[in-house]
Structure 1
Amino acid sequence: MSRRKIAVVVGFFILLAYIVLAYMFTDSKLIVVPSEVVAGLAVIGIAVLMYPFLRSSGEGLAFGYISLKFVEGFLMIVAGLFFLSSGVLFDMRNPIYVWHAFIFIFSAFAFYVLLYRSRIIPRWISVWGVVACVSLLIGSVLELFFSYQLLKLFYILIMANEVFLAGWLIVRGFNLEKV
């Protein structure tokens, strides 16, 4: 697959990963379970496709990134499948998503640091991503102790960044001089 096609697929997968938010709009198992499984696979797919581009910018960090993304995707799939059950397994979805949030934050932080180092996208997008990760970490820690809906505002920065990054990759692709 060409570098251009990989950029488009990664951008599409980033958007597809947001299908996991379907649970916010419905309790339908026919929608939630497949959406969480697809989102988990998309997260893993992003990491697999990006790893070759990121490895030269920090092999250890890139390995940590791909490892965390596999765990994140697996947790999303498991949480989706637990939606089919009742009782204890169903109740485990929330703790799984607490873990998922922190794994996402640390893997996203590694991703944006690697993107910054690699220069395959404009650095300002990477800096925005790092700032968004720090914001999300603060919001997630606060959410462990407080349950204010206003804490959801901490999510906006990373969501905007990821949607923008997806659009950038689909429209502009990678900076091929740096690849």
Structure 2
Amino acid sequence: MSLIGTSIKPFTAQAYREGKFLTVTDVDVKGKWAVFFFYPADFTFVCPTELEDLADNYDTFQKMGVEIYSVSTDTHFSHKAWHDTSPAIGKINFTMIGDPSGVVTNNFEVMRAGQGLADRGTFVVDPEGVIQLVEITSEGVGRNAMELLRKVKAAQYIAAHPGEVCPAKWEEGEETLAPSLDLVGKI
């Protein structure tokens, strides 16, 4: 079953952000756009490249009113240690959720059965807490923050412009489509 169009489920988790431990809940997420960025584990290989890419683009996400939550089944203590020892992870200013219980990972249905690790799952959540985008990639396929930015811009655009849709490769400022009987068979 697809999670698109469903509300995020309740959770409470410990997190690390900018030198502090904090508690994050589903209620904290609502009210603005959010990206949940699941990855298998701290101190690994592809994960730090993805998280560094997000960190390098975090200001752009923030200007768009988007908060980022990276999530793995590691603890918030592990996130702090990784942040303190890795130059790539040390760039991160967004919230790093620790999910050793697997509640958040299971809520988003990206827990690897029998492994206790998250798949590479990306979820865009609107201000009402409804999932608007889901992307899951295999272990060795890293994600691209610029492509994620493009998809978030498209999701925000269609949310603000009911009746319009964004075609393939749409970039902000480009023409959109207004689906109608007149377009059937003409694209």
With normalisation by structure 2, the TM-score equals 0.25
Larger Rg: 2
Q: Which structure has more strand as a fraction of its residues?
A: 2
The alignment's TM-score, normalised by the length of structure 1, stands at: 0.26
